[in-house]
Structure 1
Amino acid sequence: MADPNGILLVDKPGGMTSHDVVARARRALGTRKIGHAGTLDPMATGLLVLGIGGATRLLTYLVGLDKTYTATVRLGQSTDSDDADGQITARAAASALAAVTDDRIAAGVAALTGSIAQVPSRISAIKVDGRRAYDLARDGVEVDLKARDVRIARFEVLATHAGDGCLDLDVVVDCSSGTYIRALARDLGDRLGVGGHLVALRRTRIGPFPVADAAGLDELAGAPLRSPADTAAAIMPAVRADAATARDLRHGKRVTALDFTGPRAAAIDPDGRLIGVVERRGDQVKSVMNMPEEPA
């Protein structure tokens, strides 16, 4: 029986790390060669993309895809982690919260839409001098994280709920890779002068892949894997190679017989298998990532 090879979409439940999900998938599929394209915090739910077997080589091209999240932002309280897993560090006065109108919320959301510079949460996986920011924060080390350019294509308030000295906003966010939704919640609260943090987060899309197509944890063993060829063709142009060209690409040779639009393409052999990812080198094309050759 051939080793599993492909892309698996998983709907991660809350309370688990992304590594926990990978461990479950390894047991369910009987292989250790599994990686993921972008973590989710334990409190978060939703889409996690796993690469199985040789398809782990595709993960580098999936990590940078844009994403969609639904979330709940709580205005009126700040936490040390910018989410509900942290300790409350400040509470807004009732008068300040009462002054947060729909128009002010809309203005704050608009200011955080488009291309923005975002300072990540201090409880993040960004490395500072070789250590994760969250490890430094837990050790009591003050971390000065630099702002990063991100793009928020959509930041929309779907509903509001008042109660217990807070105002909760249900939102949906379309954003570039590397965006921290916790930081959006924090920054919106700061703009409104009442503080804010994230109390719920669900990732519903990564690139062309929706969470509706994902398997639950109890379905991993029987879940269908997306083929490397279909996955690559969904995120970049695809180009067909004849048998001779496919052989040359697999042997690391440059070829001239392929034509495609854009910086890179998925090269597919005559049997529908993914040869790899190719890029232009002047008037020639070279494979920059070769897949292990699958049986026909």
Structure 2
Amino acid sequence: MDGILLIDKPPGLTSHDVVRWIRKTLNIKRIGHGGTLDPAATGLLVVLVGSATKLFPYLSGMDKEYTGEVTVGVATDSADADGAITAEKTVEGPLVIDEALMELCGEREQVPPMYSAVKSSGKKLYELARRGVTVERTPRPITVYELERTSPVSYENGRARFSFRTRVSKGTYIRTLAVEIGERLGYPAYLSMLRRLTVGGFSLKKAHSLDEVARGDYRLLPLLSVFSENMVIQAGEKLARKARNGRALDAAEVGSGEPEIAIANREELIAIYKRKNGTYHAERVWN
């Protein structure tokens, strides 16, 4: 069994929990996922089955789209609803939220949160955070392509809440983005809800619930669905044979100017090639 399984992750489960459940339910040995969702978050989890596990590096770099909710006036140690409260400040007067969101768009750097899987000296940050240890983290380049408010702002008990939608590059932490929104507004803040809508070209609209998977009511997408149409080269017999053997390919015989291509035979992914000095060299081959 090889392919890509789109799952609508329910709240309360880690991404690893979901993968482990699918492994047991479908009796699959090789399985992984293409990008973590926090336990409290819901939405699209891209699960890689069989030989599709080799595609992780290509999924991890994809843009992602989310909807969520920010609560202003209180902060937590994990920057989401699961954390312990660390700061509170009564929200007074109307907040100029849209301007703050616009300021956070574009290319910039972001410091990963302590509650993350980023490693420091071989230790995952969340392991250190659970022991009460805080370390310096290196800022990482990110891009926030879109960030907009999608609901009125509600004010209650000295706090403010609003919903948003955002599209971001790889490496962007939405929990940190919620904290940054609060900083722009002059208040503590945390991410009170998060739902992932897309990962690259994959959409939550085509995702399956765990109940559907348990009933056998699901469909695996082909490995080629990871790549855009302009990256996929449908190979003839000669080109396919060379690709299966991982041989270098001349750009002229490939007929592409893309920096990276996927050689295919109909829906079968044969190999991924990268271009260097006018020649394509095999990066991964599926045998």
Report TM bin, short chain: over 0.9
Specify the code of the residue in structure 2 equivalent to 1:123: Y
Q: Report the Cα offset of residue 100 of structure 1.
A: 4.1
Is the contact between residue 92 and residue 158 of structure 2 (CA under 8 Å) also seen in structure 1?
no
Report what 1:288 is aligned to. Answer: 283
Q: In structure 1, give the amino acid aligned to 2:247.
A: K
Q: CA deviation at 1:281?
A: 3.3
- The Cα shift of 1:182 comes to 0.5
SS at match of 2:28: coil
Residue 255 of structure 1 and its aligned partner are, at CA, apart by 2.2
Query: Is 1:171–2:164 an aligned residue pair?
Result: yes
Unaligned runs of 5+ in 2: none
Q: Is the 8 A contact 2:106 2:144 kept in 1?
A: yes
Of 245, 258, 265 in structure 2, the residue corresponding to residue 262 of structure 1 is: 258
Between the aligned partners of 1:19 and 1:187, the Cα distance in structure 2 is 28
Do structure 1's residue 222 and structure 2's residue 217 form an aligned pair? yes
Question: Where do 4+ consecutive residues of structure 1 move more than 6 Å?
Answer: none
Task: State the match for 2:182 in structure 1.
Answer: 189
C-alpha contact (below 8 Å) 1:17/1:42 kept by paired residues: yes
Partner-residue secondary structure (3-state), 1:98: coil
In the TM superposition, residue 236 of structure 1 has moved relative to its aligned partner by: 5.8
Superposed, 1:1-296 pairs within 5 Å as 4-93=1-90, 97-101=91-95, 104-159=96-151, 160-220=153-213, 221-229=216-224, 231-234=225-228, 237-256=231-250, 257-269=253-265, 271-292=266-287
Give CA-to-partner distance per residue, 1:179-223, whole Å, 9 cap, x none.
011001111112211110011000010011110100001112331
Distance across 1 between alignment mates of 2:157 and 2:198: 32
Give, in whole Å, the separation in 1 of the partners of 2:130 and 2:206: 36
- The amino acid across from 1:106 in the alignment is D
Write the distance in 2 (CA, Å) between the matches of 1:88 and 1:170: 21
Q: Distance in 2 between matches of 1:233 and 1:90?
A: 44
CA distance in 1, matches of 2:9, 2:44: 6
Deviation of the 1:166 alpha carbon: 0.8
- Aligned-partner Cα distance in 2 for 1:261–1:73: 43
Q: Distance in 1 between matches of 2:149 and 2:99?
A: 12
Consecutive unaligned residues of structure 1, counting only runs of 5 or more, are none
Cα RMSD (Å): 1.4
- Displacement of 1:176 after TM fit? 0.4
1:234 Cα offset (Å): 3.3
Q: TM-score, normalised by structure 2?
A: 0.94
On the 8 A contact 1:12/1:46 being kept in 2, the answer is yes
- TM-score, structure 1 normalization: 0.91
Report the CA distance between 1:235 and its aligned residue.
7.1
